[in-house]
C-alpha cells in the first residue's frame, strides 16, 4: 500500500509575525514544516513500522526552500519525495482548490491508496484542502483524526469534533487529515538526516500538473488588536453593567 503525505512549509509558530501592506513579512523569517503536516508524516511512518503500508511519498508545493520540509519528512522516515516547484507565495497564491487539483493529478499518476495531510496549515488556517481533494477524487474522507486504525483495507478513524469524538469507518482509498492529538512526532536523528540525503527527490514544475487561479484575493492583512488590560470588579452588579455597556455582550 502506498501513502501520499502532503506537507507545507510555513512560518515557524514561535516567531512574532510582522505585517506589511502586501501581507506577512517573510523576509529572513524562520520557516518550518507545518506542525499538522509533521504529525501526518509521523503517522505514515508509524503505519509503515506496523507493516500496514509499504511506501511513503512526501510532496510539497513551493519554491526551492520548500525542499527543507521534504528532507525533514525523509529524515522522519518517508521513502521518496516530490517537489512541485513554483515561485508563487505559498502563504497567499497557493490556495486549497489549486493544491487539491495538483494532488489529485499525482494520485492518478502514482496510484496511492491513502492520502494523509495535516488538518490545516497554521498560516492560512483554511482547513479545506483535504476535503476538496477527497471530493475531486470521489473518495471517502475522515478529518481531524486523533486515531487511525487500518485493517484489511478498511480505515477506522476517530475524529475530534466539537461534540466529542466520532468514529468513522471506510474502505480505502481515502483521505485522512490529522489533528493535534494523533501522535507526537519523533526527533530526526542524525543518522536518519544523513540517510535522507540519498533518498529520491523528484522535481516537477507546477505548470506540468496544474495552474494557480488566485480565485481568492487577499484584500487586507492586519495584526490582531493589542490586548487591553482587564479590571477587577467589586460585585456582580458592576460586572453585569460592564458586560452590557463596555463589552456590549447583551
Return residues touching other proteins (CB under 8 A): 13-16, 18, 30, 32, 35, 68, 71-72, 75, 122, 180-181, 184, 187-191, 193-194, 197
Work out how close the CB of 167 gets to other proteins at its nearest, in angstroms, rounded to a whole number.
22
Question: Which of 30, 24, 3, 10 lies closest to 218, judged by CA?
Answer: 24
Work out how close the CB of 93 gets to other proteins at its nearest, in angstroms, rounded to a whole number.
25
Question: Which of 149, 151, 157, 154 lies closest to 130, judged by CA?
Answer: 157
CB nearer other proteins, residue 77 or residue 174: 77
CB nearer other proteins, residue 18 or residue 211: 18
Work out how close the CB of 146 gets to other proteins at its nearest, in angstroms, rounded to a whole number.
12
Sign of the four-CA dihedral 10, 127, 53, 4: negative
CB nearer other proteins, residue 18 or residue 213: 18
CB nearer other proteins, residue 16 or residue 228: 16
Q: Across the beta sheet with 141-151, what order do the strands follow?
A: 164-171, 154-161, 141-151, 174-178, 114-118, 2-6, 55-62, 80-85, 201-205
Work out how close the CB of 7 gets to other proteins at its nearest, in angstroms, rounded to a whole number.
15
CA separation, residue 5 to residues 127, 156, 199 (Å) = 16, 18, 16
| Centroid of chain to Cα 44 | 14
Would you call 12 helix, strand, or coil by DSSP? coil
Work out how close the CB of 47 gets to other proteins at its nearest, in angstroms, rounded to a whole number.
21
CB nearer other proteins, residue 13 or residue 214: 13
CB nearer other proteins, residue 54 or residue 194: 194
Q: Give the Cα separation of 172 and 186 in Å (integer).
A: 26
For the chain, the C-alpha Rg in angstroms (whole number) is 21
Burial of 70 (0-12, 13-18, 19+ CB in 10 A): buried
Work out how close the CB of 74 gets to other proteins at its nearest, in angstroms, rounded to a whole number.
10
Amino acid at each position: 500500500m502506498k501513502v501520499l503525505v502532503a506537507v507545507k512549509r510555513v512560518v515557524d509558530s514561535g516567531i512574532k509575525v510582522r505585517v506589511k501592506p502586501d501581507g506577512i513579512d517573510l523576509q529572513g523569517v524562520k520557516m518550518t514544516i507545518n506542525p499538522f503536516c509533521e504529525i501526518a508524516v509521523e503517522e505514515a511512518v508509524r503505519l509503515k513500522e506496523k507493516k500496514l503500508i509499504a511506501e511513503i511519498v512526501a510532496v510539497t508545493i513551493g519554491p526551492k526552500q520548500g525542499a527543507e520540509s521534504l528532507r525533514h519528512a525523509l529524515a522522519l522516515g518517508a521513502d521518496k519525495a516530490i517537489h512541485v516547484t513554483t515561485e508563487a507565495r505559498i502563504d497567499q497564491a497557493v490556495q486549497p482548490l489549486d493544491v487539491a487539483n495538483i494532488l489529485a493529478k499525482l494520485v492518478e499518476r502514482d496510484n496511492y491508496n491513502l492520502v494523509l495531510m495535516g488538518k490545516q496549515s497554521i498560516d492560512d488556517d483554511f482547513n479545506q484542502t483535504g476535503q476538496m481533494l477527497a471530493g475531486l477524487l470521489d473518495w471517502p474522507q475522515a478529518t481531524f483524526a486523533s486515531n487511525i486504525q487500518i485493517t484489511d483495507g478498511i480505515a477506522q478513524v476517530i475524529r475530534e469534533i466539537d461534540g466529542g469524538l466520532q468514529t468513522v469507518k471506510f474502505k480505502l482509498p481515502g483521505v485522512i487529515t490529522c489533528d493535534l492529538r494523533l501522535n507526537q512526532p519523533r526527533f530526526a536523528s542524525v543518522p536518519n538526516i544523513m540517510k535522507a540525503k540519498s533518498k529520491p527527490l523528484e522535481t516537477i514544475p507546477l505548470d506540468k500538473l496544474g495552474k494557480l487561479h488566485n480565485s481568492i484575493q487577499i484584500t487586507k492583512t492586519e495584526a490582531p488588536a493589542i490586548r487591553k488590560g482587564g479590571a477587577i470588579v467589586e460585585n456582580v452588579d458592576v460586572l453585569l453593567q460592564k458586560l452590557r455597556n463596555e463589552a456590549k455582550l447583551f
